[in-house]
Amino acid sequence: MSTQQLNDRRTAEANAAFQAYDFGTAVVESADGWNRSLPGTEMVRTIYLAPEKDGEPTERAYFTVRFSGLDTSLISEAYAITVKGGIFGTEGARADALATA
């Protein structure tokens, strides 16, 4: 598989993981594109969470997808994390599918 094919597959898998992720009570208002380092096993995007109270600023957080190895698009984990290091939400549909496999 070419590097471009791997990047395309990883982007598709990362997008699917992001769409399936259950952010709990947090509401994602918007998200930036994916950042990656090559070679590497992670893709990260900045996400912007709706404020809990009116008048407060949007909170920045990150969504990370980690792949099983350098040459695969198989996801080993995906998580949302605040700038203070608190992980929130659950993998949702992907985690359910892995649990029943």
pLDDT tens per residue across span 22-57 = 999 999 999 999 999 888 999 999 999 999 888 889
Do 64 and 46 form a contact (C-beta atoms < 8 A)?
no
Alpha-carbon distance values, 50 to 28, 33, 62, 70, 79 (Å) = 6, 18, 14, 34, 18
In a domain, 101, yes or no: no
pTM of the model: 0.87
Do 62 and 80 form a contact (C-beta atoms < 8 A)?
yes
Structure tokens at 4: 């471009």
Residue 17 lies in domain: 3-92
Number of domains in the chain: 1
In a domain, 97, yes or no: no
In a domain, 82, yes or no: yes
